[in-house]
């Protein structure tokens, strides 16, 4: 995409490890450490949370794409070279954990629809990020897995939340116990990805998907995301929750949408 890039700096002296590109109502969040296959670091997790929280608060956003820089990797997870200084003991891990989990929760709580554009390697924490997106599109040569058992690490509740939701407990436990890395076809079979396309078409396919989402009514997209998540909770709906399903009929977008349908023209929604 040929669009302006907003660097969000870790510090004044280091290049941005998270970038945001904006084209119209679509924002693209880029994990930007291509020399390390976009492995995530402690300051990078902080930056990612701040970035996602800012996008969440922006009502002009209609879809967010998450991707890694380059075409070799979406992300391999945490940078293991950091472990000695930041995760080499229970005490250090307790300090590190909430920083990483804060970013993952920000993605999980994002109001806007999220699309993962997956090139190449998507394992460990990288898969944790992608699994929190609503639609996940990868290339035929993409690779997936959670080989943390080979490091003597346990995947925490927040880290496996997305996998549990999209693939279920059986598949999640299979990935964690075996630590196996596998291809795109198996990832599709396990519902880890939504669709698989030719490697050269990953970017185009993800952008087209995001544009279809952005062309729809943004309030409805947010409601649908909220309603689907709520439907997974089997506790009875409150009267307020039940009534919220009718709120769309009071929006300007509803008037625009159904009148456009009757007039056989494409609607242009305003998000009101």
- The stretch 33-42 carries a mean pLDDT of 94
Where residue 111 sits, what CATH number does that domain have? 3.90.226.10
247 lies in the same domain as 188: no
Nearest to 170 by CA among 153, 189, 183, 152: 189
pLDDT for residue 271: 74
**pLDDT at position 6 over 50:** no
194 lies in the same domain as 91: yes
**pLDDT at position 12 over 70:** no
**pLDDT at position 14 over 70:** no
172 lies in the same domain as 200: yes
Q: Distance of CA 203 to CAs 44, 142, 154, 262, Å? A: 23, 13, 32, 34
42 lies in the same domain as 175: yes
Q: Is residue 154 part of a domain?
A: yes
Contact 8, 51 (CB under 8 A): yes
Count of other CB atoms within 10 angstroms of residue 270: 12
155 lies in the same domain as 92: yes
75 lies in the same domain as 167: yes
Q: Is residue 246 part of a domain?
A: yes
**Token pair 């250090």 in the structure block, residue:** 92
pLDDT for residue 90: 87
**pLDDT at position 4 over 70:** no
Higher-scoring residue by pLDDT: 81, 102: 102
What is the Cα gyration radius of the chain?
19
Strand ranges across the sheet with 73-75: 73-75, 121-123, 143-145, 182-183
Most confident of 3-17, 172-186, 245-259: 172-186
**pLDDT at position 169 over 90:** yes
Q: Is residue 92 part of a domain?
A: yes
- The stretch 209-222 carries a mean pLDDT of 92
175 lies in the same domain as 229: no
Domain boundary among 215, 231, 246: 215
Q: Is residue 109 part of a domain?
A: yes
Q: Is residue 259 part of a domain?
A: yes
225 lies in the same domain as 210: no
**Token pair 């490091």 in the structure block, residue:** 151
* Lowest model confidence (mean pLDDT) among 26-30, 98-102, 188-192: 98-102
**pLDDT at position 15 over 80:** no
pTM to 2 decimal places: 0.90
Q: Is residue 43 part of a domain?
A: yes
- The stretch 250-255 carries a mean pLDDT of 80
The tens digit of pLDDT for each residue in 253-266 reads 778 777 878 888 88
Domain boundary among 215, 237, 253: 215
Domains in the chain: how many in total?
2
227 lies in the same domain as 139: no
Q: Is residue 12 part of a domain?
A: no
Q: What is the mean pLDDT of the chain?
A: 89
Q: Which domain holds residue 224?
A: 218-263
Q: For residue 93, name the pLDDT band (cuts at 50, 70, 90).
A: confident
CB neighbour class for 198 (10 Å; exposed up to 12, middle 13-18, buried from 19) = exposed
173 lies in the same domain as 239: no
132 lies in the same domain as 222: no
The tens digit of pLDDT for each residue in 114-164 reads 999 999 999 999 999 999 999 999 999 999 999 998 888 888 898 999 999
107 lies in the same domain as 236: no
Q: Is residue 269 part of a domain?
A: no
**pLDDT at position 84 over 60:** yes
């Amino acid at each position: 995409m040929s669009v302006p890039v907003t660097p969000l700096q870790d510090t004044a002296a280091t290049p941005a490890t998270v970038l945001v590109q904006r084209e119209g109502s679509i924002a693209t969040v880029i994990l930007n450490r291509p020399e390390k296959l976009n492995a995530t670091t402690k300051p990078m997790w902080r930056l990612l949370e701040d970035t996602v929280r800012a996008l969440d608060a922006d009502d002009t956003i209609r879809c967010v794409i998450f991707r890694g820089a380059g075409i070799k990797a979406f992300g391999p997870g945490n940078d293991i070279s950091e472990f000695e200084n930041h995760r080499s003991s229970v005490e250090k891990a307790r300090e590190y954990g909430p920083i990483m989990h804060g970013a993952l929760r920000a993605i999980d709580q994002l109001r806007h629809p999220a699309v993962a554009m997956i090139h190449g390697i998507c394992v460990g924490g990288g898969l944790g990020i992608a699994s929190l997106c609503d639609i996940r599109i990868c290339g035929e040569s993409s690779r997936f897995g959670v080989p943390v058992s080979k490091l003597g690490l346990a995947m925490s509740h927040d880290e496996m939340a997305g996998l549990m939701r999209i693939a279920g407990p059986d598949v999640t436990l299979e990935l964690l116990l075996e630590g196996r890395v596998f291809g795109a076809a198996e990832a599709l079979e396990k519902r880890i990805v939504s669709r698989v396309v030719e490697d050269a078409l990953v970017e185009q396919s993800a952008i087209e998907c995001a544009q279809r989402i952005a062309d729809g009514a943004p309030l409805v997209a947010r409601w649908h995301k909220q309603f689907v998540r709520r439907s997974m909770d089997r506790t009875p709906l409150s009267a307020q929750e039940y009534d919220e399903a009718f709120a769309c009929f009071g929006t300007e977008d509803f008037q625009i949408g159904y009148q456009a349908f009757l007039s056989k023209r494409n609607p242009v929604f305003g998000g009101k």
